[in-house]
Structure 1
Amino acid sequence: MTGRLRQPTGRYGGKSAGERQAERRRRFLDAALQLFGDSPGFRGTTVAALSEAAGLSTRQFYEEFHTLEDVLAVLHLQVNGWAEEAASAALAETRDLPLAERATAIFRAYAANVTSDPRRIRITFVEIIGVSPRLEEQRLERRSRWVDFICAGAADAVARGEAAPRDYRIAATAFIGSVNGLLHDWRAGWVDATLDEIVNELVRQLLAILRPTGWPPGA
């Protein structure tokens, strides 16, 4: 298949063609969140099963997407986008607070968003892994965006005199791996702790990175 099928134009049932398309797309993504994020998972889902779960036809599926991988790609970005919006909103609300309080609020907002639905964690940390070179590149690009988010926060802390000045990109990359692993294992039941305890541990790790032993000089 070289492209999506042609879509109808004009109004029907009080909705424009664009509105109907947006609704169909939403229904496919909602169904994908359930099937990919729970059971049977991305690799066990077929176009027919996804279409049935969405209450739509396979023909309508191909009007919106080329393959199931396209659906997973959109869903992965959507879940990450929700988490980024939550973290960015917390950052905006706490700009005038000290570093430790800012970091705690941001991680609490991020963790609460990601862990509020176990299907989101599975999409972000499990189902996206090893699907294809294309999705692996998307996953790493999205992780790089989170690294940029941490580095921007670190640069702001340095400018305020709250953190040691240095290049934080490698440290931020390692830290993001810790965040992902800890939240996944906690939600899977492998870590016996409350979400607040998880957030506090992440904040302690971040502050140790930003404020290493011996900083500030003479402390």
Structure 2
Amino acid sequence: MGTSRRSYGGRTVEERRADRRDRMLAAGLELFGTEGRNGTSIERVCQVASVSIRNFYEEFTSRDALLVEVHKRIMEASTQAANAACASAGEVTLEERLRINFTVGLGTIFADPRAVRVAYTEVLGGGSEVQEYWLAWRANLAGVFRRYRAEEVERGRAEDGDSTMPALMAVGAIHELAHAASQRPSEVPLRALVDELVRFTLAAIGGSAAVSR
């Protein structure tokens, strides 16, 4: 029997390792989301996750590598929920698609204050590894908005042109507005935030007319 298929307590090596990784990611969300990156040590993550330091370095090269993976997991859950909602809605306008994306995607993140802190605060305070990841993530989201713009051009609802800078501007605005709203949840309800984001994004990427006030 190969090492990978060996069973310990009824579970394979892969299953045990996956369980340890999940516990470390959960510990990362808890600690980064409550105590922040600067207040979180690898030793503390291992204590909360009930794993050894050796186990940690089998999965992650550093504390920032864990932060990146926690952020990825948050954003993947948000994206999957938004995509599923858009798919269920069928054929919709760009304005409707944006509204669904922002409502469901941000709603998924805002449901957990720890996720909000990781997504809009802690990811900006990491070292070079986190910053490199953040720039790539931002560029990827900007690419999504460029595709939206291209679709609007094909439908004759937007003028053709380079949408690179407007798309990056939209990404920056989304992050800043979401961060500001997260600091004042009682003053800025999700619906008001979504209204502003839809209006701004439509204007930034040159789609159909901005939402009227």
Mean CA deviation greater in 128-137 or 196-205: 128-137
- Matched AA of 2:86: L
User: Given the superposition, is the C-alpha separation of residues 159 and 77 from structure 1 closer, same or farther in structure 2, using an over 3 Å criterion?
Assistant: same
Checking the alignment, whether the CA contact within 8 Å between 1:99 and 1:162 is kept in structure 2 is: no
Q: TM-score, normalised to structure 1's length?
A: 0.85
Q: Please give the alpha-carbon distance, in whole angstroms, between the structure 1 residues aligned to 2:133 and 2:12.
A: 32
- The answer to whether 1:157 aligns with 2:152 is yes
**What's the % identity of the aligned pairs?**
31
Checking the alignment, whether the CA contact within 8 Å between 1:95 and 1:102 is kept in structure 2 is: no
Q: Please give the alpha-carbon distance, in whole angstroms, between the structure 2 residues aligned to 1:87 and 1:161.
A: 26
- The answer to whether 1:28 aligns with 2:24 is yes
1:71 equivalent in structure 2: 66
Deviation at 1:140, TM superposition (A): 0.4
Checking the alignment, whether the CA contact within 8 Å between 2:28 and 2:67 is kept in structure 1 is: yes
Mean CA deviation greater in 60-69 or 48-57: 60-69
Checking the alignment, whether the CA contact within 8 Å between 2:4 and 2:12 is kept in structure 1 is: no
- Matched AA of 1:104: R
1:188 equivalent in structure 2: 183
1:123 equivalent in structure 2: 118
Any unmatched runs of 5+ in structure 2? none
2:99 equivalent in structure 1: 104
- The answer to whether 1:62 aligns with 2:57 is yes
The alignment of Structure 1 onto Structure 2 pairs a total of residues equal to 206
Q: Please give the alpha-carbon distance, in whole angstroms, between the structure 2 residues aligned to 1:93 and 1:107.
A: 15
User: Given the superposition, is the C-alpha separation of residues 13 and 192 from structure 1 closer, same or farther in structure 2, using an over 3 Å criterion?
Assistant: same
Deviation at 1:109, TM superposition (A): 1.6
Any unmatched runs of 5+ in structure 1? 1-6, 214-219
Give the alignment partner of residue 135 of structure 2, picking from 128, 136, 140.
140
SS at match of 1:44: coil
SS at match of 2:38: helix
After superposing on structure 2, the runs of 4+ consecutive aligned residues of structure 1 that deviate more than 4 Å are none
User: Given the superposition, is the C-alpha separation of residues 145 and 14 from structure 1 closer, same or farther in structure 2, using an over 3 Å criterion?
Assistant: same
Q: TM-score, normalised to structure 2's length?
A: 0.87
C-alpha RMSD of matched pairs (Å): 2.2
Q: Deviations over 1:24-46 (max 9, x none)?
A: 0000010110001112x111222
